[in-house]
Structure 1
């Protein structure tokens, strides 16, 4: 399995961030793991590195419900960016609300919508999909 260069975990739950980081590190699936507690931080990071392709993530795991800028606000701004590479984004949330599931359909660029918690096998499957693109 190919190792991803950079993964961004965008979630305000520090325990979730820790668990995801542990999975990626133990499985040696990413060279770099960046953590952000809201969409605004992640979006600013991407904008600040838009001309440095190696600093842009290959994969973003994005929560829906966060302070300041939630996952949907992030997506609305993200799709407006011109990026030098394709970044796969998976919504990874505890929300099973119809409104969120419907909102996900408004963003055809989303690679998937997954309900927390996810385990090792799902992470391996995501990395496999991203690594083959």
Structure 2
């Protein structure tokens, strides 16, 4: 089965990252899974990988509410850096605030999903944007 080469989870909640990692491992659709605890750490990670020629993420799952640089601040800075404009960014959050949803739409974020991440949610994204051959487990 084909896999995404690299996915980046940006979330300050260690439990959420752990659960999402377990789900993605179970689905077996990611070769390399990276994590960052806030937007600034994610930008630094992307820059480091760009500098070293390492695989850059095809998909970024981004929380909104994080200490330091939040998801919206990350997205705004990410979009200012053309060398990073290669990933699909999915806002993955507990927020159901309509203001957050409207802000995400206004910024051009294509997906706004509420936690928890499920096999159906990730399957829909992969099917629509990456056209991977899916196993029956999805």
User: If the length of structure 2 is used for normalisation, what is the TM-score?
Assistant: 0.86
Q: What is the rounded CA distance, in whole Å, between the counterparts of 1:84 and 1:46 in structure 2?
A: 8
Residue of structure 2 in register with 1:115 after alignment:
114
Q: What is the rounded CA distance, in whole Å, between the counterparts of 2:66 and 2:131 in structure 1?
A: 30
Contact 1:2-1:131 at 8 Å conserved across structures: no
Q: What is the rounded CA distance, in whole Å, between the counterparts of 1:53 and 1:107 in structure 2?
A: 29
Residue of structure 1 in register with 2:28 after alignment:
28
Task: Indicate how the Cα distance of structure 1 residues 11 and 96 shifts in structure 2: closer, same or farther if over 3 A, else same.
Answer: same
Contact 2:79-2:85 at 8 Å conserved across structures: no
Residue of structure 1 in register with 2:45 after alignment:
45
- Measure how far apart 1:49 and its partner are: 2.4
Structure 2, unpaired ranges of 5+: 133-138
Structure 1, unpaired ranges of 5+: none
SS at match of 1:89: strand
Q: What is the rounded CA distance, in whole Å, between the counterparts of 1:128 and 1:51 in structure 2?
A: 31
- Measure how far apart 1:54 and its partner are: 5.0
- Measure how far apart 1:80 and its partner are: 0.5
- Measure how far apart 1:111 and its partner are: 2.5
Coordinate RMSD, CA, aligned: 1.9
Residue of structure 1 in register with 2:59 after alignment:
59
User: If the length of structure 1 is used for normalisation, what is the TM-score?
Assistant: 0.89
**Runs of 4+ that moved beyond 4 A:** 51-54
